[in-house]
Structure 1
Amino acid sequence: MKPVLTIAALIFTASTALADSTCMSSAEMEASLTDWYGETPVAGQDAKDTQIWASERNGTWTLVQYLPDGNSCVLETGEDWNGDKNADEVLALLTD
C-alpha cells in the first residue's frame, strides 16, 4: 500500500531531480503503474534506462528511470496524455 500512496502523491507533484524522486524495485514500480493508473510502456523509445508509461484512458503519464541495481525512480509525471504528440515532448526531457 505504501508504494501506491507514494506514486499517488507524485501525480500531483512532479520532480526532475533524481534525488527528489520516488524509487522502488522495478517490479513494484511497474505493478503500481499498471494496476493503479492503467499505464503501459510507450513503444518506440531508444533510451536504454528510461521508459515512458502512459494511459490513453486515464490521460496520465510517468517517466521512469531504471537503475542497474534493479530499482526504478519516477522522474516526471503528468496528465492529459495525447499519445505520440506527448511522447516527443516527454522524450525531450531526457536531453535536458
Structure 2
Amino acid sequence: MTYLFRLIPLCLVLASPTQAKSPIAEILCEATPRLQEKLTRQFGAERVATGMRGPEQIMEVWSSDRGDWTMVVTYATGTSCIVAMGEDWHARTNEKSTQG
C-alpha cells in the first residue's frame, strides 16, 4: 500500500502538461527608432517588406544576409514590437507567368 502512495505523486509529475520553449518567450516592444537601431546595428538586418495591418499598424519583415528574419509590428504611437523570428529567409521576386 505504501508503494502505491509513492507511485501516485510520480504519476502526477509525469502526467503534468509541459509547455514548449519559444525562441521569443515574450513579445519585445520598444520605441521604434531604438528597435530599428538594434535590428540594423546588432543583428545586421534591413527592412525587406512592409504592409499595412490597419490604419494604425504596419507589419515589417527585417532580414539579415545570414537569412535570419524578424517580423515587427509598428504602431502609430511610436512603439514597435517583435512578434516572430526565424531563419532561412528567402526573398521572392514578382515572377509573372509568360504563357501565351
Short-chain TM bin: 0.5 to 0.7
Report the identity percentage: 28
The structure with the greater share of residues assigned to strand is: 2
- Aligned-pair Cα RMSD in Å: 2.0
> 2 CA distance for matches of 1:79 and 1:46?
20
Q: Report the alpha carbon displacement of residue 14 of structure 1 after superposing the two structures with TM.
A: 3.8
Which has the larger share of helix?
1
SS in 1 for 2:51: coil
Asked if 1 retains the 8 angstrom alpha-carbon contact of 2:74 and 2:81, the reply is yes
Partner of 1:23: 29
CA contact (8 A) 1:37 1:58 kept: no
Counterpart of 1:78?
A: 86
Task: Give 1:84 shift.
Answer: 2.3
Instruction: Verify the 8 A CA contact 2:51 2:60 in the aligned structure 1.
Output: no
Instruction: Determine the C-alpha separation between the residues in 2 that align with 1:40 and 1:24.
Output: 17
Counterpart contact for 1:60–1:79, Cα < 8 Å = yes
Cross-structure match for 1:52: 61
Cα deviation for residue 37 of structure 1 reads 1.1
One-letter identity of the residue aligned with 1:47: M
TM-score relative to the length of structure 1: 0.62
- The answer to whether residue 18 in structure 2 is matched with residue 13 in structure 1 is no
The number of residue pairs the alignment matches comes to: 68
TM-score (norm 2): 0.59
Structure 1 residue ranges, 4+ long, deviating more than 3 angstroms after superposition: none
Runs of 5+ unmatched residues, structure 1: 1-11, 86-96
Q: Does 1:39 align with 2:48?
A: no
Distance in 1, matches of 2:52 and 2:45, equals 18
Quick one: distance in 2 between partners of 1:30 and 1:37?
10
Cα distance per residue 1:30-70 (max 9 Å; x no partner) = 00000111111114x43251110111x22110000011210
